[in-house]
Amino acid sequence: MKAIEFLERHYPDTLKVLEDKFPEFVKTARRIKVIPWREEFQVADKNQEVIDEIEFWETLAKGGLISEEEAGRRINALLKEKGYSSKTMGIAFIEAGEVSFRNEVPPLSVLLHEIGHVHFKEPDPVWSSTYGGGETLFWLALKKDYPIGEEEIRRFHSLFKKAQNGEHLEVAKEIVEKVAPLWGEQIVPAFYPVCLAAGWIPHYVYEVASGELDPFDLTNPEWKKVLPHRNDVVMFFVNLTEGLKFSEPFWVEYARRLGILG
């Protein structure tokens, strides 16, 4: 059977909303094959394995044992090699275009999560709402009527993934270019003031810069000399999705300027 049948039979109201907001997603659901559940899908929690390995490379990089670039390369290779991801309730085989579910009728969230893997072709660190991924935006579009469609989610994925994979300086630069003008003279155009202005204190500012740089003085030109840390740039996007969840006006405007809200 095809994944679309679950939507047609059990979640027709959601299917209507999807057809309106994510027609391409529905098209993908029509071609995704549902294969029988196998015990090993839940025993070997492949997603956890991937997450553990990513953490492993990140720990090495943090400890200075390998460079951030090296860690980014390893993580990239890993994600490419394991072109699938799973949650205990379901699993998606991204390249094969197949999904499988433990329950006879998967809960809606599980069904959309797995279809989403195949549709957007992203593993959990980029897609899953557990890690602040695009899935959160997808649900905001469905539930809160935010102007978010396919294009906005792909745009978010691309920035989020670049930040995770070691291109965080480039991403931070784009954030500053697009978002800092909102504040005019109130901040110097630099990554950390952009974060602080929205009321978020990134790890680096909290742990390292306090004492050296006043987190309330956002016009200090010294901020421009501080290189954004990768985790902070990644967390910027996690905070952004959280901010959208609670309709926080600054984050909503940041998202709009970054092309994550239509």
Binding site for Zn ion (CB under 5 A): 85, 87, 124
Nearer to Zn ion, 16 or 38 (CB): 38
Paired tokens of 36: 């029988």
Tell the smallest beta-carbon distance from residue 85 to Zn ion (Å).
Answer: 4
Tell the smallest beta-carbon distance from residue 90 to Zn ion (Å).
Answer: 8
Measure CA of the first residue to CA of the last residue in the chain; give whole Å. 34
Nearer to Zn ion, 87 or 155 (CB): 87
Tell the smallest beta-carbon distance from residue 36 to Zn ion (Å).
Answer: 19
Nearer to Zn ion, 46 or 257 (CB): 46
Residues in contact with 129: Cβ distance below 8 Å, sequence separation at least 6, in sequence order:
135, 136, 139
H helices present in 11-133, as ranges = 12-21, 23-31, 39-43, 46-62, 68-81, 108-120, 124-127
H helices present in 82-229, as ranges = 108-120, 124-127, 134-143, 150-164, 168-179, 191-197, 203-204
Nearer to Zn ion, 85 or 100 (CB): 85
Tell the smallest beta-carbon distance from residue 114 to Zn ion (Å).
Answer: 7
Tell the smallest beta-carbon distance from residue 221 to Zn ion (Å).
Answer: 43
Tell me the Cα Rg of the chain. Answer: 20
Closest CA to 157 of 241, 248, 83: 241
Nearer to Zn ion, 116 or 149 (CB): 116
